[in-house]
Amino acid sequence: MKQAKVTAYAKINLVLDVLRKREDGYHEVAMVMQAIDLADTIHLQEAQRNWLHTDNKHIPPNMNNLAMKAVTLMQQHFPQVAPLQVTLQKKIPVAAGLAGGSTDCAGVMLGINKMYNLGLGQDELERLGAELGSDIPFCMGGPTALATGRGEKIEALPHCPDLFFVLVKPSFGVSTPKVYGNLRVAEIKEHPDVNRCIHALKAQNAEQVLTSMGNLLEHSTFELQPDVKKLKDSMAAAGCNHVLMSGSGPTVFAAFAEEAQAQQYYQKIRNEYPGAMFARTVNQKMLEERVALYGTD
């Protein structure tokens, strides 16, 4: 019986800029995205029918889950893909702005591609993934990339220098459509500098990467959920110069170039934020090893 185990990495936005609202209702964005080693684990195995098992009570075990939509999509395109049981062990918080659902979806597609030796290349996988969500193409690849369009156009960037993150996800969620719907791009005069971040990546300058970070969506999310701004301010006051909201929120992360400083900060805030998470940048080797096969035909 064919089986696969997939490590599905979360993502953060080092820079997130919104340029305008498009005629199709989406927003034109420019984002520098980075994979981090906070990850879900996905087990795939052939079964009598498609079904999902998960250890997270907030995820309904039905076919509406993105991971199961990925199974259905791959079976529609490739009839040799058998019914599958998907076992999802969650470590990435749900509705956190960390692409947890998108990376699980990408992980399932990557696992199926390898299980059945489909031979799909990166471009083909990204094209298929884009049918299910804007963040999925990035989650197919990474670890560092520029995302444009509505987020589905991916251009690989030089790998980020080693960075370390302490993440805090509030108990509440934030609706991404509401955040974008509340955003008044034309009224915002200062935008994050995507090109400065790209230059810093090319120069492998960790400190410059940190000082170039920015997220235009903070304007909207802070207005809708003032507690996210309070969290950011509190995390900055705890001793970090580089604190940013990830995606549309509500997760906020503190970023460091030195692991010792990050660990010290992590230990400091764990009493106030018991759910705080520690993570670091993902490298290419980690991506290449994220799918492992078991069993036989």
DSSP 37-104: EEEEEEEEEE-SS-EEEES-TTS--STTSHHHHHHHHHHHH-TTPPPEEEEEE--SPTTSSS-HHHHH
Per-residue pLDDT for 296 more than 60?
A: no
d(CA 246, CA 250): 7
Number of domains comprising the chain: 2
Whether residues 112 and 186 fall in one domain = no
Marked catalytic residue, from 5, 11, 90, 232: 11
> Which of 17-26, 82-91, 176-185 is the most confident on average?
82-91
The two structure tokens encoding residue 238: 């705890």
Per-residue pLDDT for 92 more than 70?
A: yes
Whether residues 121 and 146 fall in one domain = yes
| Cβ(229)–Cβ(222) below 8 Å | yes
Average pLDDT rounded to a whole number, residues 185-207: 94
The two structure tokens encoding residue 26: 């989406």
- Out of 142, 157, 172, a domain closes at 157
Span 39-49, pLDDT tens digits: 999 999 999 99
Q: What is the pLDDT of residue 255?
A: 98
Whether residues 93 and 169 fall in one domain = no
d(CA 236, CA 238): 5
Span 101-120, pLDDT tens digits: 999 999 999 999 999 999 99
Whether residues 153 and 168 fall in one domain = no
Span 138-161, pLDDT tens digits: 999 889 999 998 888 899 999 999
Span 217-275, pLDDT tens digits: 999 999 999 999 999 999 999 999 999 999 999 999 999 999 999 999 999 999 999 99
Marked catalytic residue, from 5, 114, 135, 232: 135
Q: Which domain holds residue 253?
A: 164-280
Whether residues 96 and 70 fall in one domain = yes
Tell me the pLDDT band of 297, cut-offs 50, 70 and 90. low
Q: Angle at the Cα of 225 (from 95 to 58), degrees rounded to 5? A: 25
Whether residues 151 and 168 fall in one domain = no
Other CB atoms within 10 Å distance of the CB of residue 64:
9
Q: Coil, strand, or helix at residue 198?
A: helix
Residue 21 in domain: yes
Q: What is the pLDDT of residue 286?
A: 94
Per-residue pLDDT for 187 more than 70?
A: yes
Q: Distance of CA 37 to CAs 32, 78, 138, 192, 290, Å?
A: 17, 31, 15, 25, 11
11 catalytic? Reply is yes
135 catalytic? Reply is yes
